[in-house]
Structure formats: structure tokens, C-alpha cells
Amino acid sequence: VKRVYAFGKDAEGNNVTEGNTNMKAILGGKGANLAEMANIGLPVPPGFTISCQTCMEYANADNTWPEGALDTIHEYRLDLEKRIGKKIGDAEDPLLVSVRSGAPMSMPGMMDTVLNLGLNDQSIHGLIKQTENPRFAWDSYRRFIQMFSNVVMGLDGDLFENAITAMKNARGVASDTDLTAEDLQQLVVEFKQIFSENVSGVEYPSLVVDGVVAFPQDPMVQLKLAIEAVFGSWNNPRATLYRKKNKISDDLGTAVNVQCMVFGNKGNTSATGVAFTRNPANGEKEFYGDYLVNAQGEDVVAGIRNTSPIADLKHVEGLEEAGQQLEEIFVVLENHFRDMCDIEFTIEQGKLYMLQTRVGKRTAAAALHIAIEMEKEGLITKEEAVMRVEPEQLDQLLHPQFDKNAEYDVLARGLNASPGAAVGEAVFSAADAVAAAEAGRKCVLVRWETTPDDLAGMIAAEGILTSHGGKTSHAAVIARGMGAPCVCGVEALKIDAEKKQAAVTGTDVVIKEGDMISLDGTTGIVVLGAVDLVLPELTGDLDTILEWADEFRTLGVRANADNPEDAQLSRDFGAQGIGLCRTEHMFLGDRKQIIQTFILNEDEDIRQKAVDQLFEAQTGDFYGMFKAMDGLPVIVRLLDPPLHEFLESPRALDVEIARLEATGGDKGVIAEKRALMEQIDAMAEANPMLGLRGCRLGIVYPILPVMQVRAIATAAAKLKKEGLDPKPEIMIPLVSVVPELAKLREVAEQTIAEVAAEQGVELNIEIGTMIELPRAAVTADEIATKADFFSFGTNDLTQTTFGFSRDDVEAEFIPQYLKERLLPYNPFATVDPGVAKLVKMGVELGHQGNPNLTCGVCGEHGGDPDSIHTFHNIGLDYVSCSPYRVPLARLAAGQAAI
Ligand code: ADP
Ligand code: MG
Ligand code: MG
């Protein structure tokens, strides 16, 4: 097996790159694109990439090296030295390298990287000689020891930061850059001391020299330990959590890139930066990013010093040419990758080097805007534009914003790093954010700057607020990726994380833990107190992409709604009808009393009176629904749940009776309550989900479907007389055998005919059924003879196919099943292949029984992108989902058709 791949040029300037951008599974994203950039002639410092497979083999063999791997690395290292004409560890002119992680899927900042590797007490003098810059050299050495200790040996970074702070205090200077070469040389001594004192000789016997642990002087030892550490970082807790959250497989492994160092910290004509070829927050076509002069590596993202905007670069003395070249490279990269790219670069004494590129992460708004603009520029096709937007991402656009009518005072302003608004209690650590979320309290995570260790807290928080860092800082990048609102770089915030509070400069406000704060990541505003949030209006870009998706899609999209407001909302979002109107939701509130009277009384007169009242109410409900959906189909499902769902809980009654008895309550009242409790108890079912519900209810209590059908027909007749075009359809739930459907169909048809005659209007109301029991699916040919349409209720169909009770299993054992991979995903979220097979069978058999049958899905799965793909492939006519999922479903259906 080939384990190592070269990239970049040889000594003669020939490209000797062995990989390319399509090899991400082997080289990781970073390695594959370093190779690709080298292939298209961009300035990439040479190096080699160790494959992801080697990482997995190493990890799976309990952190031991596969046979021959170290030899191959050794060969490639020698070759690299030849290509550069320098040797690692050389006392005259040393080669320094970075050892960089890079997985097949982008996991920004989750794994480890070591810079300046190869420095030791000899090569430092070579570096001084070559650069004639002792300050730079000592700074590089102290950075290397610091990074190596932290990343490879796992020492606390604060040990070193504290030593730097002590040195600055001793010298009376404010900034790291004010420390002299001698100061830094002294720090190197101190850092090595810290290393010796804190690294365990038992754990690393090979580092023990003369009885004490010493910082490794052999560059080969440094290199091996660094590569092992990068391999190990694949399984560090934050990387593992990130993969779980982003559904990335644990089996991919990370590649390791060993690359020649270039230096952004060699003075004022050197710089380092990160950039995007377009604005990743709103998609605007502009160069976007930050740089720092005389800095290295993570300085920009770490938010340690204040950065400058990338557009300024070409106006800085000594950086003009590199700045100009960078802008040209932005265009080259966009044309090559045909997408917005994210870039890391370093300028060493005026010469530009590209250190990384990948297709850039972006907000949903930016994804839409970029896709549309690139289509207009002719860079991509309309199909590609539709494919460029993640359906799940659209949720972000439907995120809340500050209510425009809300009154509030702006407390502070920062950078609008990730859109959407958040309201919650201020918390000052990731652990507190997690604790608040677990206690069901909404919180905003307030940090100086976030680090990868804060990830769990960032996930738990409603929004993220930082006082440092630019729009490409860790907080900003991660928040955008998660779709969480984020305001960063709020310089007025003086955070004291220890005391869990933040003073706000220029005010006498001190935000304390637990204080409500609001932030708007779209504008960068921070407010003390809770601001009312509203949902945003859809932008023109969303409409455009959805219209394009509509051009491709063959699957219809309807909504599940049971009140006129939701119906109108789904219509505004582009729903082509209502696929499921649940009537049980119309029996709540004051109506509950009426249905209870019906259920609990045997007396026919009292029952009839209750049903008459329900008829009045239902006619009004349907009138509103059909009116809002004028001209579009509205499928009304007849009453479905077990009746005792409408009754008091017998346990609560029992408690109440006990209390009345204990306090000497009225005997008559107690007797009445006891009778009621016994009656309810008598109706209880051992297994209500499989009990008296669905069509079975209508067969036992025919008065109910008659009332509902009459209300549907009456409302439709009324609207027709008003000149509108109502299109109700009647759906009979939980059918398992044809006679059930036949019987209720007859009742419904007869009732519709009666109403039509009474009202003097013609009514054509289709009657269909839900397919939510396996028996119905496998006998769909028979059932279809009595149905105008099928709607697959995939929630119940999943329950009944698996024999899983949804209410029980999701909490009880599905999490364990997922962990042990007994199930690849939750079948209630994404339709299971077995259930999908039943749907497919139902559709095919159904068409045999009735060639004109319309088939849709109305379960939760109708709003899930993966399931939508499945339903498209099965050839369903439509999916129906909750109103807010309608835009997502339109997009996913369009993508499924491309
Ligand atoms: P991450 O995946 O966390 O972004 P990288 O491997 O990209 O980690 O390294 C982080 C930073 O280190 C880079 O953005 C770059 O600034 C610096 N860096 C890495 N390799 C080199 C190199 N060969 N020369 C100079 N700087 C480097
Ligand atoms: Mg990087
Ligand atoms: Mg059902």
C-alpha cells in the first residue's frame, strides 16, 4: 500500500505532486487541496502527506505503527530535504516543518498541528545565521516548544502563557512583540524547564536523559512524536463530539501533512492571514478575511491581536505585490473549484505562499446568494446552484430575529459573525452553558474568545458572544457552521470569567451570570434584557432558489396544518395543499368539555346535543381552513386518537379524591368524582396505540364520522355559494381491511349527498385512506378499490412495522442502538429502508387496484431531506410536512430530481 504522497516542487522546480483534489479520502481535505494547488501552479511550500488509512491502522492497532510505515516516512523526509536543499536539525541552515492534521471532512480546529518542528539547541543557531534575525529565531523556538508541549505532550498552555506574562511584567512591556531576542532566549530556557518539570518520565522513558526528562533534541524523535500526536487527535474528545454532531464517520482517520515552514513572522514585510473568496456571512462578492503583519499560524484565528481587513493588504508597504497576487489567486481558485473558497496564506518577506484551501463554509443566506450569483456569472449551472444549498441549512433563514417593533437600548456592538438572534441568561463557561441547557434554561455563552474546548457549550447555548476575534475567529466559524447566532469582537466587554461577570466599558453595566441578554448576529448588536424575537421574512434569494428547485422537482409538497393561520403560512411558503389536517387538534380548549360530555354519557339525547355543538364548531374550523387554501386540496383526517386522550387522567382524579377525603370534602362531590374515575378506568386500554382508534372509532361510534363529514361538506357548500373553490378530501385513518374502508366510505358518501341536496350545490369530495399498518400496505391492491388516494402515515407505519412504540423507544433504547450501530439512524427521523419497502409496495399494489390513485406521505419523514429522496425514488405524488419545513422540502425534492 502507498502510504505517503509528495506535493510541491523538486529542486529543479518541477512539480512532483502525487495527489489531487479527488483524493480526500486518502490525503484528507487539506492534503488533497495542497496537492491540487501545487498542480495548478500556485505557490505551495513543498511537503508530503501521510494517508488517513495509516492513521486508522495505527489507531486500530492500539497506537502501534504499521509495518514499514516509518521507513516510508523516513524516505519522503530525506526526499523533501533534497528537494529543498536543507536538512532538518542542521546547525548551518536547518529545514523546519509543520506537522498538520487534515481529515477527509473539514473539521476546523478540532485536531492538532505543530509548527516550527526541527528546532533544537543546534539548529537555532543555523536559523539565526540564515535569517540574521535572532529575535525571529528565538521566537520561533519558544513557539515550537510551547506548541509541542501543549499539542504533543498535552501540557496546559497556561504554564507557558504565564511565563510570557511574567517576562513582560518584568520588562515592563505590554505586547509580545516588545520582547527582545534575549528575552525570548531566556523564555526558551524557562520553557524547557517547564517541559522537564511537567512531562512524566514514566510515560515517555525515551525522553529521559541523565535521570531527568528533557525536551527532545533529535528532530526525528520530534517528528515521530508529532505525527503520533496528530494521529491521536483524531480521537480526542472535541473531535469525537464534532463528528457526532456533524454525522461524520469515526472510521475516516486524519491524514498528516509534513510541510516546509514559511514564516509570516520575519518582520514587517511578512504576514499571515485567512480569507474567503466571497463573504461567507451574506454571500456578497468581495474578498473577505483578516491578516496580521509579522505573525505566525494561529495568531489570526486566536484573536490575540487585532487583525486588519484583507482588502487593505495590497496597500501596505512591502506587501503590495503579494496582496495583488493573492487577489488574483482568489479568482483562480474560484474558477478552478467553481465555488467559494476559504484560504490560509502566509507572506514571507514579500513572497506569498498558499497554505490551505477548501470550499468554504457559509451561512444559508450566503449559500443562496453565492449559488445564484455564480449561476448568473456562468460559473455553474442552475442544477448545480440548486444542489449547492443544504436543505437543512434553510432552517437558519427561518431563525428568529429581533422584533422590529421592540424597544431596546443597544448595550454594545461587535461583529455580525453569524446571523439570527438569541435571548438567554449570560453564562461564562462552556460547562455552565451545558448545565443551563440541561436544566432547560436558555443561555448565551459569553467568552473572551472560544476555543475548540468550548464546543459542547457552544452547542448548548442559544447564541455566542465574544469580546475578541474577527469574523474568521473560532467562535465565528463554528457558529456559522452550526447556524447559531454569534456576535464577536465586542471590545467594550471586559470579561472576568473567573468571577462570571463582564463589565461594559463606557457604561456602568456589569453583566452577571444569569442576567438575561439578547444578541443579534445579523447586525452585531448586544442588548441587556430579553428582546422580543420574531421570524424573518423570506429573502428574494430563497424564492429564487426555491423557484429553480420547483422547475426540477416532480414531487409535490403539501403541509400538515390544522388551523387557518398555519394553512396560510404554509401557502406563503409554497405548499400546494394540505396533506394532513388533524381534527383532534380541533377538540382542545373549550371543545374538550363537549367531547367529554359525549364520551361519558350513555344518554342518546345528551350525546346528540354534544355532537350538534361539535358540528357547529367543526363547520367553522373547516370553513377557515378551506378558505385559506382556496383552490388547493385539503385532506381532512377523521378523528384518530383513542377517546380517553380527551379525558382527565384517572391518576390525577385519584389524587384529588384522596385530598378531598383527607380535608373532609363534600361526600356527594367525592362520590361523583369516584364514579367518574371508575368510568375512565373502565375505558383504559392496555395498549392504546393499537386499541380503539382510527377508523375503529368511526365504526363503534358512527355518529362521529357523520358529524365530521357533515361539517366538511357544509363548510365546502358554504364557500361554493360564496363563489370560492374549496377542495376538501376526506381521509379515513388506520384501515387494515377493506370492509372498514368500504363501510366508512359509504357513510361519508351518503352524508355528502345529503348535504349537497340540502344546500343545493354539487360536491365532489374525494375519499381516501391512510396506509399506516403493514396489513394495509401488503393488501393495498384491495384497499385501493375503495380509495381515491393513499396517504402513507409513516410515523405509525414505522411503529407498527418495527413493533416500536415511538413514545417509549426514542428515549429508552434507540440512543443505545445508535451508539452500538444496531440501527444506522433513528427510523422516526429518516425513513427506514424496510418501511420504505412497504411504502413502495403500497404504491405499486395501490395502482393495480386503482390506476388513478394519488399517493403521498404525511408522516414526520415528509420534512426530512433524506426521506424525501427516498419518496421521490418510489414515485410518490407528494410529501406533506410541517409549515416551516415546506421550503426545505421543496428544495430537497428539487435536488432529488436532479
Ligand atoms: P487547522 O486545520 O487547525 O487550520 P493547520 O494545519 O491549517 O490547522 O495549521 C494552522 C495554521 O498554522 C495555518 O493556518 C498556518 O497559518 C500555520 N501553518 C501550518 N503549516 C505551515 C507552514 N508550513 N508554514 C507556515 N505556517 C504554517
Ligand atoms: Mg488550517
Ligand atoms: Mg397515524
Is the per-residue pLDDT at 256 higher than 70?
yes
Task: Supply the residue whose CA is at minimum distance from atom 23 of ligand 1.
Answer: 261
Ligand nearest, relative to CA of residue 112: 1
Q: What is the band of 481 on the pLDDT scale with cuts at 50, 70, 90?
A: low
The predicted structure's pLDDT at residue 12? 95
Check if 772 has its Cβ closer than 6 Å to any atom of ligand 1: no
The predicted structure's pLDDT at residue 194? 96
Check if 95 has its Cβ closer than 6 Å to any atom of ligand 1: no
The predicted structure's pLDDT at residue 510? 95
Cβ-in-10-Å burial (0-12, 13-18, 19+) of 167 comes to middle
| Calpha distance 359→403 (Å, rounded) | 34
Task: Report angle CA 826, 886, 562 to the nearest 5 degrees.
Answer: 90
Q: What is the band of 353 on the pLDDT scale with cuts at 50, 70, 90?
A: very high
**Strand partners for 293:** 271
Q: Is 604 annotated as a binding residue?
A: no
| Calpha distance 314→335 (Å, rounded) | 22
Q: Is 243 annotated as a binding residue?
A: no
Q: Is 794 annotated as a binding residue?
A: yes
Mean pLDDT value of segment 502-521: 94
Percent of the residues in the chain that have a pLDDT greater than 90, as a whole number: 74
Mean pLDDT value of segment 559-571: 91
Is the per-residue pLDDT at 175 higher than 90?
no
Contact 263, 270 (CB under 8 A): yes
Question: Which of 100, 260, 270, 353 for mutating ligand 1's site (highest number of atoms within 8 Å of CB)?
Answer: 100
Domain ranges of the chain: 1-120+218-261, 133-215, 271-359, 364-394, 399-534, 553-639+696-897, 643-684
Mean pLDDT value of segment 169-174: 91
Q: How far is CA 96 from CA 81, 154, 222, in A?
A: 10, 22, 11
CATH of 1-120+218-261, one of 3.40.630.30, 3.40.50.300, 3.50.50.60, 3.30.1490.20: 3.30.1490.20
Catalytic residue list contains 644: no
Ligand nearest, relative to CA of residue 642: 3
Question: What digits encode the pLDDT tens for the residues 105-127?
Answer: 988 778 888 999 999 999 999 99
Question: What digits encode the pLDDT tens for the residues 886-898?
Answer: 999 999 999 999 9
| Calpha distance 108→386 (Å, rounded) | 26
| Calpha distance 454→442 (Å, rounded) | 17
Q: What is the band of 805 on the pLDDT scale with cuts at 50, 70, 90?
A: confident
Check if 106 has its Cβ closer than 6 Å to any atom of ligand 1: no
Q: Give domain 271-359's CATH superfamily.
A: ATP-grasp fold, B domain (3.30.470.20)
Q: Is 772 annotated as a binding residue?
A: yes
Check if 297 has its Cβ closer than 6 Å to any atom of ligand 1: yes
Mean pLDDT value of segment 364-383: 96
The predicted structure's pLDDT at residue 304? 64
The predicted structure's pLDDT at residue 303? 62
Q: What is the band of 302 on the pLDDT scale with cuts at 50, 70, 90?
A: low
| Calpha distance 889→864 (Å, rounded) | 7
ipTM value of the model?
0.95
Cα 200 to ligand 1 centroid, rounded to whole Å: 28
| Calpha distance 739→887 (Å, rounded) | 39
Helix (H) or strand (E) holding 35: helix 24-39
| Calpha distance 450→429 (Å, rounded) | 10
Q: Residues, the chain, total?
A: 898
Question: Which of 292, 355, 450, 472 for mutating ligand 1's site (highest number of atoms within 8 Å of CB)?
Answer: 355
Is the per-residue pLDDT at 538 higher than 70?
no
Check if 135 has its Cβ closer than 6 Å to any atom of ligand 1: no
Check if 355 has its Cβ closer than 6 Å to any atom of ligand 1: yes
Mean pLDDT value of segment 282-290: 92
Check if 259 has its Cβ closer than 6 Å to any atom of ligand 1: yes
Ligand nearest, relative to CA of residue 791: 3
Check if 356 has its Cβ closer than 6 Å to any atom of ligand 1: yes
Is the per-residue pLDDT at 19 higher than 90?
yes
Q: Is 265 annotated as a binding residue?
A: no
Ligand nearest, relative to CA of residue 735: 3
Task: Report angle CA 458, 464, 469 to the nearest 5 degrees.
Answer: 105
Ligand 3 (ion): residues with CB under 5 Å are 772, 793, 796
Annotated catalytic residue: which of 858, 861, 869, 872?
A: 858
Q: Is 512 helix (H, G, I), strand (E, B) or coil?
A: strand
| Calpha distance 817→240 (Å, rounded) | 18
Q: Looking at residue 360, what DSSP letter applies?
A: P
Cα 188 to ligand 1 centroid, rounded to whole Å: 22
| Calpha distance 245→830 (Å, rounded) | 16
Task: Supply the residue whose CA is at minimum distance from atom 17 of ligand 1.
Answer: 297
If one compares 367 and 593, the residue with the highest pLDDT of the two is: 367
Question: What mean pLDDT, rounded, does the chain reach?
Answer: 93
Check if 261 has its Cβ closer than 6 Å to any atom of ligand 1: yes
* DSSP notation for 517-562: EEEETTTTEEEESPPPEEPPPPPHHHHHHHHHHHHH--SEEEEE--
Q: Is 795 annotated as a binding residue?
A: yes
In ligand 1, the atom with minimum distance to the C-alpha of 110 is: 3
Q: What is the band of 473 on the pLDDT scale with cuts at 50, 70, 90?
A: confident
The predicted structure's pLDDT at residue 610? 94
Class of domain 399-534: alpha beta
Annotated catalytic residue: which of 399, 474, 644, 872?
A: 474
If one compares 9 and 884, the residue with the highest pLDDT of the two is: 9
* Strands of the sheet with 463-466, listed across from one edge: 410-413, 525-528, 516-520, 421-427, 443-447, 463-466, 486-488, 415-418
Query: CA dihedral defined by 231, 235, 237, 242, rounded to 10 degrees?
Result: 100
If one compares 643 and 788, the residue with the highest pLDDT of the two is: 788
The predicted structure's pLDDT at residue 258? 98
Q: What is the band of 744 on the pLDDT scale with cuts at 50, 70, 90?
A: very high
Is the per-residue pLDDT at 131 higher than 90?
no
**Strand partners for 359:** 341
H-state helical runs in 629-702: 650-662, 667-683, 695-700
Check if 113 has its Cβ closer than 6 Å to any atom of ligand 1: yes
CATH of 133-215, one of 1.20.80.30, 2.60.40.420, 1.10.8.590, 2.30.33.40: 1.20.80.30
Cα 796 to ligand 3 centroid, rounded to whole Å: 5
Cα 498 to ligand 1 centroid, rounded to whole Å: 31
Q: How far is CA 820 from CA 62, 252, 824, in A?
A: 20, 18, 9
| Nearest residue to 223 (alpha-carbon basis) of 77, 90, 326, 350 | 77
The predicted structure's pLDDT at residue 218? 95
Catalytic residue list contains 474: yes
The predicted structure's pLDDT at residue 385? 98
597 Cβ contact partners less than 8 Å away, ≥ 6 residues apart: 606, 607, 610
In ligand 1, the atom with minimum distance to the C-alpha of 272 is: 16
**Strand partners for 341:** 359
Question: What digits encode the pLDDT tens for the residues 392-426?
Answer: 888 778 778 898 888 999 999 999 888 889 999 99
CATH numeric code, 553-639+696-897:
3.20.20.60
Least confident of 324-333, 349-358, 403-412: 403-412
Question: What digits encode the pLDDT tens for the residues 32-50?
Answer: 999 999 999 999 999 999 9
Is the per-residue pLDDT at 573 higher than 70?
yes
The predicted structure's pLDDT at residue 267? 85
Reading the block at residue 252, the C-alpha cell is 475516516
Question: Which of 44, 230, 346 for mutating ligand 1's site (highest number of atoms within 8 Å of CB)?
Answer: 346
Q: What is the band of 703 on the pLDDT scale with cuts at 50, 70, 90?
A: very high
Ligand nearest, relative to CA of residue 95: 1
